[in-house]
Structure 1
Amino acid sequence: MHAKAVVPRAAAAGAVGGVVAWLFSLVFAEPLIQAAIDYEGERGEAEAALDAAAGIAPPEEGAEVFTRTVQGVWGIGVGMILAGVALGLLFAVVYTLLQGRVSVRPRVLALLVAGAGFLTFYATPFVKYPASPPAVGHDETIGDRSGLFLVMVVGSVVFLVAAVFVARALRERLGAWNAVLVGGVAYVVLSGLLMAVLPSLGELAVNVATYGPAVGETPQPLRDPAGQIVFPGFDPDLLYSFRVYSITAQAIVWGLLGLVFGALAERATGSTSVAETRESVEA
């Protein structure tokens, strides 16, 4: 299938994945986001009370640009659909490069490319730096968190490419399945080494100053100067559920991208084959 035919189909498939993931997030993840925002507001009030008791003036708050309804419903929807389209365009590039070089049906190739995209762009980086709702993470660490996640994404992509080359080089010597197994082990080992080298979010300077050495950025119980807990830490069940729904939403985007594009690609190639057959018969 020509690249000009791949791109619009991939973008459309990505948009479908974005819409379904948005609806999923609206039902399952959005209530958790609201609960996290409520926690953040209530904790802020408790911190302000402690600051007032200590004679510290509260910081000025900026004006809200968009309402919570706009952010939680339409903002996330537009964002996920546009992200789905962008992933579809990236998918189209990889699919175009591989078609003709891999002797599998378009549907199978589409699922393989989508699976590889989900693995490298989200699942593997998620193991080291999982998604967090509002109230989990300092504003000062946003740049650091984004940079570390990007390093994991780039490393994951490079390691997958290296694993594919290893598998191809060993295919004749070990057989197809054993070569794939060796390549998979190489990918896991390299990804694990990168995770071990990169710092945890709890090791960032701001978090060490706030919580002491920790694994992540989850807010701990708020204590007064006497050491008494005046506000609880962030609910771990809420954090766990949010992360499960986050990775599920990404699986929906990539899964539908592969399934929908695969169906469209096979329909297009099937239509082409029928047309060519008719032309040859008529000739």
Structure 2
Amino acid sequence: MNARTFLVRGLLAGLIAGLVAFGVAFTVGEPPIDTAIGLEEAAAAEAPAEPAADEAHTHAEGEEGHTHADGEEGHTHSHGEEEGGITRTTQKTWGLATATIAVGVALGGIIALIAAAVAGRLGRLTVVGSTALVTALGFVAYVLVPFLKYPAAPPAVGSGDTIGSRTAYYFTFALISIVAMVATVFLGRWLAAARGVWTGVVVAGVAYVIVVTVAALAMPTVNELGDFPADVLWEFRISSILTLAALWGAMGVALTWLLGRVDTTPRATA
């Protein structure tokens, strides 16, 4: 099989995975988001309004002066009706479906190309076995481990002033985890050839855990929860990881099944 065979089936598997992820996200993910948005809007409604004098300002141009208030030019909107007429209903249906499908297709293509690159290079694993391993290791390195350090936060959690730094922390740690996983695979291959498969897998796995643990302890900790309800936060984070697991799991199953159908044809003929 060539890279094109992998890529085409990876894109198709990503499409299937995106649809599955949409179903999970809509079913278990949207209810806690709606609750969090309701809490955010309630907190905004209860916040004391600033005096009008603080909003107004005066300036002079030559000998002519005039006064105007920012409120005359400003506008407010809620999550139910965003700018451009995008309603909350659209966000949680077509918007969510578009996002999960786009991410699924892109991710499926990437995983398929990586699987094509490592096919036949991971010991005695078949194409199906190596593809399944790539998907599983990708989920651990890119999703699970970073999630444990920097879990998802719902609306109304976190300051807008720190969103840039929090995003940078997450992707930095994810990059460390991915690089460590790639190094782990090379280490495992070398040890498996020199000391046996069992030794290679165990030592490489322990090495990965040590590296990401040290990195997690060294990276800054983010705690901006405030008095956000713990039950809503827990429900949101569980639904987030379930959605990601559904995306990666469905993609792995679909891709290995599609590749397996192609890989078994020459064997059956022989």
Fold-level match, TM-score > 0.5?
yes
Letter in 2 for 1:85: V
RMSD of aligned C-alpha atoms? 2.0
- Secondary structure class of the residue paired with 1:136: coil
Letter in 1 for 2:28: F
Identify the residue that residue 69 of structure 1 maps to in structure 2: 89
Q: Which runs of 5+ in 2 are unaligned?
A: 56-69
- 1:253 counterpart = 2:260: no
Identify the residue that residue 92 of structure 1 maps to in structure 2: 112
Identify the residue that residue 217 of structure 1 maps to in structure 2: 224
Return the alpha-carbon distance in structure 1 between the equivalents of residues 265 and 193 of structure 2.
36
Identify the residue that residue 185 of structure 1 maps to in structure 2: 206
Return the alpha-carbon distance in structure 2 between the equivalents of residues 61 and 186 of structure 1.
54
Identify the residue that residue 42 of structure 2 maps to in structure 1: 42
Letter in 1 for 2:253: L
Return the alpha-carbon distance in structure 2 between the equivalents of residues 33 and 163 of structure 1.
37
Shift of 1:273: 3.6
Aligned length: 247
Change (3 A) 1:19 1:196: same
Deviation string, structure 1 residues 2-27 (Cα, Å, up to 9, x no partner): 11111010111111111111111101
Return the alpha-carbon distance in structure 2 between the equivalents of residues 261 and 118 of structure 1.
14
Moved more, 140-149 or 178-187: 140-149
Q: Is the 8 A contact 2:119 2:126 kept in 1?
A: no
- 1:108 counterpart = 2:129: yes
Q: Is the 8 A contact 1:111 1:255 kept in 2?
A: no
Return the alpha-carbon distance in structure 1 between the equivalents of residues 156 and 54 of structure 2.
22
Change (3 A) 1:80 1:182: same
Shift of 1:141: 2.1
1:241 to 229, 235, 238: 235
Q: Is the 8 A contact 2:188 2:203 kept in 1?
A: yes
Return the alpha-carbon distance in structure 1 between the equivalents of residues 103 and 171 of structure 2.
16
TM-score, normalised on structure 1? 0.81
Return the alpha-carbon distance in structure 1 between the equivalents of residues 50 and 210 of structure 2.
51
- 1:164 counterpart = 2:185: yes
TM-score, normalised on structure 2? 0.85
Return the alpha-carbon distance in structure 2 between the equivalents of residues 193 and 88 of structure 1.
31
Q: Structure 1 vs Structure 2: percent identity of aligned residues?
A: 33
Return the alpha-carbon distance in structure 2 between the equivalents of residues 8 and 192 of structure 1.
37
Shift of 1:125: 0.6
Shift of 1:166: 2.2
Q: Which runs of 5+ in 1 are unaligned?
A: 202-215, 221-232, 278-283
Moved more, 51-60 or 140-149: 51-60
